[in-house]
Amino acid sequence: MSIAGRLRRRSGGRVPGESAEAGIEWRIAKILILFRLLHAGQVGTTLPSLAPSLRHPVLAVMLLVALAGESGWYVHRLASLRQYGGGITAAVELTTAVLALLCAVLLLPPANRDVLATPLLDLTTEQLTAAALSRISPPRLLAGGAAVIGAYITLILTGDPGDLGHVDAIVAVSGYIVIPVLIWRGGQYLRLLAKDLDSAQLDLAATSRTLAHEEERRRFGTELHNYLLHTLDVFFGADLTDPGGGQRVRGLFGLVRERLRNYMETGRFSEPVPFLDMLTRQIAEAEHEGLTVQRVLPELVRLNPPALTPADGQLLESALRAVLINVRAKAGVDSAVLRVTVLGGLAQLTVTDHGRGFPADVLARGPDAWRSLQRHHGDLRRIGGDMTITSRPGMTQVVLSAPKLPAAAPGTAGSAGAGDTA
């Protein structure tokens, strides 16, 4: 992959699974890459414009080639190899900075040398910054900085020695001392902060897993209580002399046995949770696309969500997805209400909005039905469910239903009917 491609891929921020320290290193590297390309470009355009006044044109060409090669190597090391530091990087950067300033002594005319060397001074400052961020020890960094300062003073003294007392020269010399120290300390602080952040994230992940296990145990206890209590209520209230009543009790106990066996094999007591997961997933998808969905979930349905077969659940979810897309795109609203009810043996989803209503292509039948909601209507009817649409300017209501599996907990067929609302 090209360097530009890596920059585009990484520009979105931290990648999944990447440590905070690696993320901070990459952000610092992107800044260094941009400054290197900027300063190298300035040097590359300035030196040719000074060609008539350069004393050794061949040396100027060699310097340009050397700086281009070193900059290319440095950018490749950061962007492609992701090697942000080390003695090699610091040694190359500091050596190149010193040699570039010494070459400027031979190339630039004495008059206005400090002005003509400005792009090169910017480049050496960036090279000192790169060395300071390469994790070398402070003594080695200070020694390299002293070598750069020596080369810069040589550049000034071989031109107009009086320039050494000017404010620009004093600022440059002090900057060569202060900047590496500040950059080095700042890099150390950011890396330490990143390590602390990684440690905190690991602690948070461990805490989240613990909370998830606690929630799973709580859910298991609640569901086990509901199923067993309902089964015992039926047992004590059943007429065991009636063959039908005895068969019903036997079936309920068999269902509880299967649920316990399922829990021991899969870690889940029952399978109603995916129904709520489906609602949460589709609400999140809709909100991502700009539609705010208010979910109205009765308490009995929340405690005992209806269970659907995987195939029926997929058809219901697909229909709900299509309805929410059309509410946002066709009805022209940014909010809707999703009400969940259980009516007899059906799980029912009612989506209501107060927009301009669905256009004809959404409600079309016949040859154009593939563009409308009618395909989902047919799918739901085929499994024993239904889809009804009431649409007019000011209000659209779509009711989706699909058959649910028999449940042994209270709050299903008679108790969670249409009158259950939040």
Can you list the domains of the chain with their CATH numbers?
3-201 (no CATH), 273-403 (3.30.565.10)
Query: Are residues 210 and 218 in contact, defined by beta-carbon separation less than 8 angstroms?
Result: no
User: Model confidence over 284-317: pLDDT tens digits?
Assistant: 888 877 888 988 888 888 888 888 887 788 889 8
Angle at the Cα of 166 from the Cα atoms of 162 and 170, rounded to 5 degrees: 115
Select the more confidently predicted residue: 400 or 196.
Answer: 400
Token pair 């997805």 in the structure block, residue: 321
Residue 407 contacts residue 291 (beta carbons within 8 Å)? no
Give the closest residue to 119 by CA, choosing from 32, 41, 34, 172.
41
Give the pLDDT confidence score for residue 99 in this predicted structure: 92
Q: What is the pLDDT of residues 118-160, one digit of tens each?
A: 888 888 888 888 888 887 888 888 898 899 999 999 998 988 8
**Total Cβ atoms within 10 A of residue 418:** 11
Percent of the chain scoring above 90 in pLDDT: 13
Q: How far apart are CA 355 and CA 340, in angstroms?
A: 21
- pLDDT tens readout for residues 59-93: 888 988 998 999 999 888 888 877 766 788 888 99
* Res 10 pLDDT > 60: no
Containing 340, the helix (H) or strand (E) segment is strand 335-343
* CA separation for the pair 242, 301 (Å, rounded): 31
Cα four-point dihedral sign 297, 298, 302, 306: negative
C-alpha distance from residue 295 to each of 282, 283, 284, 346 (Å): 11, 8, 11, 18
pLDDT in tens, 102-115: 998 888 888 777 66
45-56 residues labelled b (16+ CB within 10 A) or e (exposed) = eebeeeeeebee
Does the CA dihedral 219-220-225-228 come out positive or negative?
A: positive
Q: Tell me what pLDDT residue 277 has.
A: 78
pLDDT at 79: 85
236 or 279: which leads in pLDDT: 279
Helices (H), 241-288: 243-266, 273-288
pLDDT(4) > 70: no
